[in-house]
Structure 1
């Protein structure tokens, strides 16, 4: 499950990762280890080669202690990973950052996400279709026009119904300071 990105977007993403890694004062090896990636995979990303998965990008953003949109905004605003498309609609990065995405899931699509930074919360507003979503072990069934908020600092999931789903996803990042 890799993200489809053109060459320019991959190069932009690679440069952004390098900038953020160097700002954190980490070597390539250190970031790869912290994010649970092979050093060669991270090196290829920094070179603007290869296509990362959404989970890889989320892990990098978490370890670099930046909102997901900070990592991808300069590269590409829409990311497609198999049967799921995520479009960055807006981002506010003041004292408490907020990202807003439009997420579209094909029928029966599933996304199991790793935990975000401590204190992160997500609010889903279902635009169309149906979706089960929330923290793993506590999924809530949602229909169009329903809203659900959950702690995203633990593993969570999105499971589309037989017609698929479209949802506005608002991610509220907590001000947790360095881990």
Structure 2
């Protein structure tokens, strides 16, 4: 979404590290609650024993596919796997000043990164504003990625692989973003939308 490669890698690394740090103990706690050995959980989940061991010791950054398989084997939701080990109440606030803002090359589109850093490796969401004539050109994301653009105000046009669709306030466009894609405000009025990008859509494989 216009993020420089270096900054993107920093963000992904920080998100993956934060996620791994909290889920290792949770996976171990759930495994022991079911009286499963590493070998037994590996057999039931299809995840290598060595990978599970590394996850429990917080020595690896698991993919969504891996977390999905473990959650299925442990018969819990992904959300449960991602909870803190102590299952503490959770309430977090990000102020306007803490929210990073990305600007398109033409200066007419602004993306406020409202998504949670702990899910940035597979789920990102943004508050999107586009002035009249604004164009946001994005490179392809990982294979299988899907983007959802929900228009709150105005009108936006999305082009993917030569296919163009228009959405007005109240409409949502969903499209593969694992190829170059462009969002345009071709109207004479400002547009506002919520954008959600689902990366590494392992559950769809």
Q: TM-score range by the shorter chain?
A: 0.5 to 0.7
Residue equivalent to 1:119: 144
Greater fraction strand:
1
1:141 aligns with 2:166: yes
Helix, strand or coil for the counterpart of 2:2? helix
1:169 aligns with 2:192: no
8 Å CA contact retained: 1:114, 1:156: yes
Residue equivalent to 1:80: 103
Distance 1:106 1:60, change over 3 A: same
Distance 1:150 1:157, change over 3 A: same
Count of paired positions: 119
Distance 1:68 1:84, change over 3 A: farther
Q: What root-mean-square deviation, in Å, do the aligned CA atoms of Structure 1 and Structure 2 show? A: 3.3
1:128 aligns with 2:164: no
TM-score (norm 1): 0.56
Structure 2: 5+ residue runs without aligned partners? Answer: 16-93
Q: 1:159 aligns with which of 150, 171, 184?
A: 184
Structure 1: 5+ residue runs without aligned partners? Answer: 1-53
Which has the greater radius of gyration? 2
Distance 1:143 1:94, change over 3 A: closer
8 Å CA contact retained: 1:122, 1:171: yes
Which sits farther off after the overlay, 89-98 or 116-125? 89-98
8 Å CA contact retained: 1:136, 1:157: no
TM-score (norm 2): 0.49
Describe the superposition over 1:30-51 as per-residue Cα deviations: whole angstroms up to 9, x where unpaired: xxxxxxxxxxxxxxxxxxxxxx
